[in-house]
Chains A and B, each alone.
Chain A
Amino acid sequence: MNAKKLKNVLYTIAFPLAVYAVMELLCFCVRDRHVLSSMLDVQTIIRDTGSSAMIAFGLSLNLSSGRYDLSLGAQRLAGTIIGGVLALQLGLSGIWFLVFALLFGLLFGFLTGLAFVITRVPPMVLGVGIGLVWECFPYKISQGKGLNLFGVTGMEVINNTSFTIAVVIIVAAFIYILSNMTKFGYQMKAIQGSQLISQNSGINIFSHAVICYTLAGGLVCLAGMIDTVFTTQLTSSLGLASSGPINKNMFPMMLGGFIGIWTNQSIGVIVASLCVNLLSYGLITLELSEANSSVVNSVLFVLFLVFLANRYVLKNKRMEQERIALAKKRRRELAEMTAGACIW
């Protein structure tokens, strides 16, 4: 491994290590406890990181192209509940729940994407409207009961940490290959630059958008099912109350884009999810109330966004000052040369 690659790896690892070190110090000093005190805690954080990373991947597929899909939460709800209810009624268990959730997630994502390209309604507006519609489907199909997996046997495989790690690795590899080794990935980079130029140069931005919506729907439903199997239930909700779990993962998504500078987007998002989950775990160990924890998370997110928007300001200012200093020096030299020529 050359020096530059080593430096990039170290920078990437530094983030979760730094978060862990800070939270561990705080928890030890304030509560005399560790952030992670057992293998169970490690397993929980791996599961939470995996779920968070998948939602962040789903968000990034559209957001990086300027589309904020507010219906992702509703797609997660609809795909997970309908897939789960169908699997239960068919007497299936285990991995089939994941498969059904994925299929329904892809379906709802596809339909959302199709609605976007046909109606040309701005994504946020469409997201609100179609999200309200998607929330009705699981409500109706489950008769308001949602998905209850309490006491359902055969779900141990989904709760297994190794399985979660395997799913996350497969998803991360898929996103990496898609973004960096396929025509789709190159088109995505072009569209992120300029949709008009991309369209004029022959890229079908509409089919690209549909694919992004489809994949995003599938990813958030995978995450939804993994979470639901652990907590045993997912309640139907209306009025876009389902968007909470998605909005919570904006921070890992944005942070992942930043950390990805040193590696790539896929690894960046996973590392960022780990950082945010370590922070949450630390705040729970510190015994902060739910409200105070939310405030801390939100303030850190806003500070990060401020940093992101202004990170080149100081560098630009320094470069400007160097240019001014250099220009002044050149003028002095020229003035001296001119004065010397006059004397002669």
Chain B
Amino acid sequence: MKKAWMSFWVCLMIMGSLFANGSGEKGKTASPKFKIAVATIFEGENWEIQKSYYEHELGPTLNMEFMFSEKLSDANGLVDFMEKAYAAGCQGTISYVTSNDAVAQGARKAEEWGMYFITQNSALNKTVAGLSHNLGHCGASATGMGDAYADAFGKLLSDGKNHSVYIFSGAAVGGAIGQGAASHYYSVYGMLSAMQKRYNLTYSQSIDAIINNQNPGEVKTGNANVKIYIYPGLDIPGAIKSAQSQFQSGDYDIFAAVFNYSSFANALSGVESSLNKDIKIIGTASIEAQTATGFSTLDPTGDTILNAAVINPLNVANGICASIMYNALTGHADAMRDNGSAVLFKVNPWACSGADVYKGISKLDKSHETYVLNSEDLKKLLCVNDPGVTFKTMEKKLLELADVNAILAAKS
């Protein structure tokens, strides 16, 4: 009898604790997190910095959890990942796969599954712009990249002397039509325009045709004292050998790389030692340890390895995309579109003309206080907090973020 009573009380206690948990949960009514898939094409330190921003700033602020892909490269990879994401319960996808095909297929699949979709690239895909779940694009501004490179080149070319430039153009070929990387294309466009303006050059072809030439070679500038050599493609070892060979001729004194400038450092240092000649390096960079090293380490001629950079604000596009996604998921998708059509949001990079300027920029994107778009900034972009927020608010914010000095003043 005693054992029976003991059993009865134990069962009652167990049932009581279950009910207590249940009612506790009812009382709190925690809102479920939005699950967002992030389809990336990156790996390495840059990507880890961005992932940290997603997980530690965007996630808590926007009540989101993120499902990251491995490095993708084409439309098939994107769609495979989106299928897995959809099966895992994701409600939206932020895609970094920039080809026209990937954008079109991704947007159509997202429409089919009722997922919101936004791409980080610099070109609007008009074929899918009308789909209701396509939230558009956010990427490097064409004029912004060009202006930033023109600014960065400005100081290098401002001494009044003739300079010849070797440009590693990366995936610039086809970048304007979604086949390559738009940021690479517009970076090279900015460089060629800056050179043309500075030296009154007469190119034998249009700048677009020059950039879209798949073969490496010298550009006919119409000025024998100013040479430009372009090496397209992603073959870094080949580009290193080519650059070393061209610089060894003594004709060139500026090296510009739209990505991976650090891979060329040793080869160019060898040329500097051999010719006892300083070679200026300008490249696309981010706020990271490598850029700090570039601006602080000296080459054999006593100059810094990196002389100027165009800094990609790593997390601005991520913050804008996540905010747009949040607005869509909270029922304000129409406010993020222009008369039912997807919008292209443009991120302006910052020109960094030397180590002194970088010292200030390097303090950004390190923590909550220094993120260019931290939780306080993000909350001002949410329709739930301000019903007046539209896509124009996003565009205005991006224009404000083009002024790095204003950002530094605000964050200091």
The residues of A that contact B237 with a CB separation of less than 8 Å are 48, 231
Question: B156 on the interface (CB 8 Å rule)?
Answer: no
Taken together as a complex, chains A and B put the C-alpha atoms of A75 and B234 apart, in Å, by 23
Taken together as a complex, chains A and B put the C-alpha atoms of A294 and B139 apart, in Å, by 32
Taken together as a complex, chains A and B put the C-alpha atoms of A284 and B248 apart, in Å, by 15
B262, closest chain A residue (CB): A150
Residue among B217, B244, B296 with max Cβ neighbours from chain A (10 Å): B244
Mark the stretch among A10-18, A36-44, A121-129, A335-343 that contacts chain B.
A36-44
Mark the stretch among A256-264, A285-293, A317-325 that contacts chain B.
A285-293
Question: B7 on the interface (CB 8 Å rule)?
Answer: no
The residues of B that contact A43 with a CB separation of less than 8 Å are 270
Contact in complex: A232, B263 (CB < 8 Å): yes
Contact in complex: B244, A40 (CB < 8 Å): yes
Residue-wise, chain B 48-86 has the 8 Å CB interface mask toward A (1 for contact) of 100100000000000000000011000000000000000
Contact in complex: B236, A44 (CB < 8 Å): no
Contact in complex: A233, B262 (CB < 8 Å): yes
CB of A82, distance to nearest CB on chain B (Å): 16
Contact in complex: A284, B270 (CB < 8 Å): no
Question: B340 on the interface (CB 8 Å rule)?
Answer: no
Question: A144 on the interface (CB 8 Å rule)?
Answer: yes
Residue-wise, chain B 227-240 has the 8 Å CB interface mask toward A (1 for contact) of 00000111111101
The residues of B that contact A143 with a CB separation of less than 8 Å are 48
- Known pairs A38-B274, A232-B262, A289-B214; A237 contacts B238 (CB<8 A): no
Place the interface of chain A in its size category: 35 or more
Question: B356 on the interface (CB 8 Å rule)?
Answer: no
Contact in complex: A40, B270 (CB < 8 Å): yes
- Known pairs A37-B245, A44-B267, A235-B44; A289 contacts B71 (CB<8 A): no
Residue among A38, A39, A48, A291 with max Cβ neighbours from chain B (10 Å): A38
Contact in complex: B45, A148 (CB < 8 Å): yes
Contact in complex: B263, A233 (CB < 8 Å): yes
Question: A8 on the interface (CB 8 Å rule)?
Answer: no
Residue-wise, chain B 255-298 has the 8 Å CB interface mask toward A (1 for contact) of 00000101101110011001000000000000001100110110
Contact in complex: A239, B70 (CB < 8 Å): yes
Question: B242 on the interface (CB 8 Å rule)?
Answer: yes
CB of B166, distance to nearest CB on chain A (Å): 13
Question: Which residues 153-193 of A sit at the B interface, judged by CB distance below 8 A?
Answer: 159
Question: A230 on the interface (CB 8 Å rule)?
Answer: yes
Contact in complex: B71, A38 (CB < 8 Å): no
- Known pairs A40-B274, A287-B216, A289-B214; A232 contacts B266 (CB<8 A): yes
- Known pairs A143-B48, A237-B71; A40 contacts B271 (CB<8 A): yes
Question: B204 on the interface (CB 8 Å rule)?
Answer: no
Contact in complex: B265, A232 (CB < 8 Å): yes
Question: B249 on the interface (CB 8 Å rule)?
Answer: yes
Taken together as a complex, chains A and B put the C-alpha atoms of A232 and B268 apart, in Å, by 12
Taken together as a complex, chains A and B put the C-alpha atoms of A213 and B208 apart, in Å, by 50
The residues of B that contact A291 with a CB separation of less than 8 Å are 214, 233
Question: Which residues 41-62 of A sit at the B interface, judged by CB distance below 8 A?
Answer: 41, 43-44, 48
Taken together as a complex, chains A and B put the C-alpha atoms of A135 and B108 apart, in Å, by 33
The residues of A that contact B236 with a CB separation of less than 8 Å are 231
The residues of B that contact A289 with a CB separation of less than 8 Å are 214-216, 232-233
Contact in complex: B262, A287 (CB < 8 Å): no
Contact in complex: B241, A290 (CB < 8 Å): no
Contact in complex: B215, A288 (CB < 8 Å): yes
Question: B43 on the interface (CB 8 Å rule)?
Answer: yes
Question: A252 on the interface (CB 8 Å rule)?
Answer: no
Residue-wise, chain A 222-237 has the 8 Å CB interface mask toward B (1 for contact) of 0000000111110111
Question: B113 on the interface (CB 8 Å rule)?
Answer: no
CB of B288, distance to nearest CB on chain A (Å): 10
CB of A235, distance to nearest CB on chain B (Å): 5
The residues of A that contact B44 with a CB separation of less than 8 Å are 144-146, 235-236
The residues of B that contact A239 with a CB separation of less than 8 Å are 70-71
The residues of A that contact B45 with a CB separation of less than 8 Å are 144-146, 148
Taken together as a complex, chains A and B put the C-alpha atoms of A239 and B71 apart, in Å, by 9
The residues of B that contact A86 with a CB separation of less than 8 Å are none
Contact in complex: A150, B290 (CB < 8 Å): yes
Contact in complex: B265, A281 (CB < 8 Å): no
B244, closest chain A residue (CB): A40
The residues of A that contact B249 with a CB separation of less than 8 Å are 37
Taken together as a complex, chains A and B put the C-alpha atoms of A40 and B300 apart, in Å, by 15
Taken together as a complex, chains A and B put the C-alpha atoms of A140 and B71 apart, in Å, by 14
The residues of A that contact B233 with a CB separation of less than 8 Å are 289-291
Question: B19 on the interface (CB 8 Å rule)?
Answer: no
The residues of A that contact B203 with a CB separation of less than 8 Å are none
Question: A238 on the interface (CB 8 Å rule)?
Answer: yes
B215, closest chain A residue (CB): A289
CB of B271, distance to nearest CB on chain A (Å): 6
The residues of A that contact B260 with a CB separation of less than 8 Å are 233
CB of A21, distance to nearest CB on chain B (Å): 19
The residues of A that contact B238 with a CB separation of less than 8 Å are 280, 284, 290, 293
The residues of B that contact A91 with a CB separation of less than 8 Å are none
Contact in complex: A44, B263 (CB < 8 Å): no
CB of A153, distance to nearest CB on chain B (Å): 9
Question: Which residues 32-52 of B sit at the A interface, judged by CB distance below 8 A?
Answer: 43-45, 47-48, 51
The residues of B that contact A144 with a CB separation of less than 8 Å are 43-45, 47-48, 51
The residues of B that contact A159 with a CB separation of less than 8 Å are 266
The residues of A that contact B71 with a CB separation of less than 8 Å are 237-239, 241
Taken together as a complex, chains A and B put the C-alpha atoms of A228 and B290 apart, in Å, by 15
The residues of B that contact A202 with a CB separation of less than 8 Å are none
The residues of A that contact B274 with a CB separation of less than 8 Å are 38-40
The 4 A-B residue pairs with the shortest CB-CB distance, nearest first, are: A151-B293, A290-B233, A145-B45, A150-B262
30 A-B pairs whose Cβ atoms sit less than 8 Å apart in the complex = A37-B245, A38-B248, A38-B274, A41-B244, A144-B47, A148-B262, A151-B290, A151-B296, A230-B266, A231-B236, A231-B266, A232-B263, A232-B265, A233-B262, A235-B43, A235-B44, A237-B71, A239-B70, A239-B71, A280-B238, A284-B216, A284-B238, A284-B241, A284-B242, A288-B215, A289-B215, A290-B233, A291-B233, A292-B215, A293-B235
* Interface set of A (CB-CB < 8 Å, partner B): 37-41, 43-44, 48, 139, 143-146, 148, 150-151, 159, 229-233, 235-239, 241, 280-281, 284-285, 287-293
Not counting A43-B270, A148-B45, a sample of 10 additional A-B residue pairs whose C-beta atoms are within 8 angstroms of each other reads A37-B245, A44-B240, A150-B294, A230-B266, A231-B266, A233-B262, A284-B216, A287-B215, A291-B214, A293-B235
